[in-house]
Amino acid sequence: MSETVLITGGAGFIGRFVAAELLARGNRVRVLDSLIPQVHGEVDGSKMLSPDADLIRADVRDKAAVAGALKGVDSVIHLAAEVGVGQSMYEVERYTSTNDVGTAVLFEALIDNPVRRVVTASSMSIYGEGLYRDADGASVEDAERKGLRDGLSNWEPVDAQGRPLSPVATPEWKRPNLSSIYALNKYVQERTTHIMAAPYGIEGVCLRLFNVYGPGQALSNPYTGVLAIFASRLLNGQQPMIFEDGEQRRDFVHVSDVARAFADALVDPRAVGGTFNIGSGHDRSVTEVATELARAMGKNDLTPIIVGKARIGDIRHCFCDTTLAAERLDFRAQQDFGEGLAALADWVGEQTATDKVEQMRAELDARGLVA
């Protein structure tokens, strides 16, 4: 089925891969993107976007621009968002305006310009801490870390009796535990999609993305994905900087797999009304990932700096249970992590980037957001 698809935020890192995937499947692609400098500073999304995509440079909060972009469109992939847990904790208005108001503007425009389906990008951040099991084997959905501001020597969540909890893969049924403004924004985007779609005859789908990586990330944006931040440091001859003790575990999924998930979710009838985790199904420590990336970039001497402090809003462990996406979307990540990391290292080696990690840490420190 060939359609005209609007991708909001489609000139960004993930959006460019989604556009390419949709075009390869015979669709027509229209992109609405504001090309903000923080994201597109050294990676010009408009130049990296396929020439076969129609680019409209506009803000997702611009009602007239969004309504115009929807003319003649059959379906929408909604990616437009400010991204970054740490920055969201002090640029609250900017994040909430772009993410929540922007989504509201989109769906209000869809009332008069309905489409067949909208697939909205959500985030694993809405879970807060991932799912855990206690010493008795019971599931713990609301794990918290107490006393971060007091300087923990043990970063792991514990139960009410002080016993350690064991992290397990996080499924979609886990209750949200919103620990940052960004997480709150993404949850609002999810709920807006599901609340607004059905009453207007639109099929709504949400994908909760885990840690997406691959070539084309914004290397000079210190609030983007952790692999891009590490890559920028290494490219500039600096050691990767890791908060806490580096043993926090995450799920890293390649952007090509994520693009395929969006394209499939746009057409699979089983996706309608659903919210799905999109990850690799494999968890790795942050230190392990930083070390492997340094090795792939030929920077073995640049071992990670373990900061020993936490950022307020960060969580300890959260990695992906992929069962539902496999059952309902036939989605399984295909990209081998080692091969994907090698390709990322090759791409990074051809780039230039400004390392702004120290600036980012100073901004968080100045606002009391580093414990």
Give the catalytic positions in this structure: 182
Contact 49, 55 (CB under 8 A): yes
Residue 264 corresponds to which amino acid? Answer: D
CA distance 225 to 255: 12
Q: How many CB atoms are closer than 10 A to CB 156?
A: 17
Q: How far, in Å, are 265, 275, 277 from residue 331 at the CA level?
A: 9, 13, 10
CA distance 81 to 182: 9
Q: How far, in Å, are 259, 260, 303, 316 from residue 10 at the CA level?
A: 11, 15, 35, 31
Q: Kindly report the length of the chain.
A: 371
Contact 121, 207 (CB under 8 A): yes
Nearest to 193 by CA among 78, 109, 80, 331: 78
DSSP labels, 124-191? GGGGSS--EE-TTS-EESS-----GGG--S--S-B-TTSPBPEE-PBPTTSPP---SHHHHHHHHHHH
